[in-house]
């Protein structure tokens, strides 16, 4: 079969592309322009931003020859980069209408568990609207509502569990509901079942694991898998938890996608639980327990690196951004006179003042660039180039700086290394 998978660069979408390709299907991967990584092994890649696909004509050319569609697009929270209503409802509605016009009967659509029972945020409310829009169409639709999906690849909540497992002290938040986590392998097997033309249709299916776990239980499983001893637990005060969620919202507006945001705060209160029995009866799939899933694939050093770097990554980018911003602001304010004196020692004459101002503005621009996800890579490269310029210029004009007790030029090297670390861990998935 020739199958279109939307949201193909995401955690679930990329795994589905791999599973369907492995089973001999011809997969057309739809990805947002500029996103990555693009799934390997697919027959074609189609760049479409679902949030901007407001007309059926956007989809019709790409649906020629398609026999089934698997919709995996998702957005957690409204910000300049993510638009839940446009992605979950408005955008996919045009795709469903286009499928109807092209005569494509089989449409498998990913929603979220519990949205039919409670909608505490725009995420779940828009997911439910998208579900209903699909139900209204004359299609052989299947709506899958998974719980928290965990696999070898991680993103969002699944990555958060890995990061929490690396902490020697495990913070526990109040008002977190139980979870019936589901494995990524079971999810892809379910899609492989329902994509067949003979499979049942016009039904919603909850994909929930066989056991109810708390967040701490999930983290404990991961610590055991990573061969780390149990962590000591403490209750994180509500005001600190709220502060973390607000910080996540701010990072979201800068283009980053942290799993800890106010939408996650609202959604996690109701938990992610459901009844797996209908799923098992329809498909014959026996969902894996988390411990069983982890036992089949022992952890490697790469998993340990990722877990330990998860919370270090935001710290690195905050520190680098604030470092350059503070350097520029200090140079323009309380450090201006000292900066001019240093430039005069270097023999710059009348260019001393303008040189300090130009350097300070460059520092500030780099700090702002590193803070924004869309410009962070350019900001890191700019910081490396500017730091090397400072080394070369300082060596030529004031070589005695190498001998000063505080080592202003020597300290540039560890700073450079940290920028290269930032580049190495910049990608989010």
Q: How many residues does the chain have?
A: 429
Query: Residue 155 burial by CB count (10 A; 0-12/13-18/19+): exposed, middle or buried?
Result: middle
Q: Is the pTM of this model over 0.85?
A: yes
CA 170/CA 178 separation, integer angstroms = 17
Q: What is the CA radius of gyration of the chain?
A: 25
The CA distance from 265 to 174, in Å, is 10
| Residue ranges with strand state E in 72-136 | 106-110
pLDDT by position in tens, the chain (length 429): 999 999 999 999 999 999 999 999 999 999 998 877 778 889 999 999 999 988 899 999 999 999 999 999 998 888 877 888 999 999 999 999 999 999 999 999 999 999 999 999 999 999 999 999 999 999 999 999 999 999 988 888 889 999 999 998 998 887 788 999 999 999 999 999 999 999 999 999 999 999 999 999 999 999 999 999 999 999 889 899 999 999 999 999 999 989 889 998 888 888 899 999 999 999 999 999 999 999 999 999 999 999 999 999 999 999 999 999 999 999 999 999 998 998 898 888 898 899 999 999 999 999 999 999 999 999 999 999 999 999 999 899 888 888 877 778 888 999 999 999 999 999 987
Give phi and psi for 257, each to the nearest 5. -130, 70
Domain ranges of the chain: 2-310, 314-424
Query: What is the distance between the alpha carbons of residues 166 and 223, in angstroms, rounded to a whole number?
Result: 7
Secondary structure E strands in 166-257: 169-172, 182-183, 203-207, 232-235
Query: For the domain bounded by 2-310, which CATH number is listed?
Result: 3.40.50.720
């Amino acid at each position: 079969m020739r199958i279109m998978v939307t949201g193909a660069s995401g955690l679930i979408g990329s795994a589905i592309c791999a599973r369907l390709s492995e089973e001999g299907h011809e997969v057309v991967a739809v990805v947002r322009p500029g996103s990555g990584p693009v799934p390997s092994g697919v027959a074609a890649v189609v760049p479409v931003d679902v949030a901007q696909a407001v007309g059926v004509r956007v989809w019709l050319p790409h649906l020629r020859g398609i026999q089934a569609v698997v919709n995996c697009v998702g957005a957690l929270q409204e910000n300049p980069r993510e638009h839940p209503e446009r992605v979950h409802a408005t955008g996919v509605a045009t795709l469903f209408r286009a499928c109807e016009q092209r005569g494509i009967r089989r449409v498998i659509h990913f929603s979220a568990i519990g949205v039919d029972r409670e909608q505490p945020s725009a995420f779940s409310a828009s997911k439910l609207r998208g579900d209903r829009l699909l139900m209204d169409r004359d299609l052989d639709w299947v709506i899958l509502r998974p719980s928290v999906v965990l696999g070898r690849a991680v993103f969002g909540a699944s990555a958060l569990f890995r990061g929490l497992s690396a902490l020697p002290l495990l913070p526990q938040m109040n008002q977190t509901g139980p979870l019936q986590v589901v494995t990524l392998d079971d999810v892809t097997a379910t899609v492989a079942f329902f994509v067949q033309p003979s499979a049942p249709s016009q039904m919603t299916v909850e994909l929930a694991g066989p056991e109810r776990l708390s967040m701490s239980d999930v983290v404990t499983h991961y610590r055991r898998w990573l061969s780390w001893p149990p962590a000591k637990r403490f209750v994180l005060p509500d005001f600190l938890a709220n502060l973390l969620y607000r910080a996540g919202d701010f990072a979201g507006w800068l283009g980053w996608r942290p799993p800890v945001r106010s939408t996650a705060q609202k959604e996690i209160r109701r938990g992610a639980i459901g009844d797996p029995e209908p799923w098992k009866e329809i498909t014959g799939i026996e969902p894996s327990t988390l411990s069983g899933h982890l036992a089949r694939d022992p952890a490697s050093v790469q998993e340990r690196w990722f877990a330990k770097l998860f919370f270090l990554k935001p710290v690195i980018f905050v520190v680098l951004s604030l470092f350059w911003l503070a350097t520029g602001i200090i140079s323009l304010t309380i450090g201006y006179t000292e900066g001019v004196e240093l430039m005069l020692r270097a023999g710059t004459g009348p260019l001393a003042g303008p040189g300090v101002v130009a350097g300070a503005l460059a520092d500030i621009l780099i700090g702002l660039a590193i803070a924004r996800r869309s410009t962070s890579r350019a900001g890191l490269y700019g910081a490396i180039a500017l730091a090397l310029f400072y080394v070369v210029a300082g060596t030529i004009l004031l070589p005695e700086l190498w001998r000063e007790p505080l080592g202003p030029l020597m300290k540039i090297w560890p700073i450079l290394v940290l920028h290269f670390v930032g580049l190495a861990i910049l990608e989010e998935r």
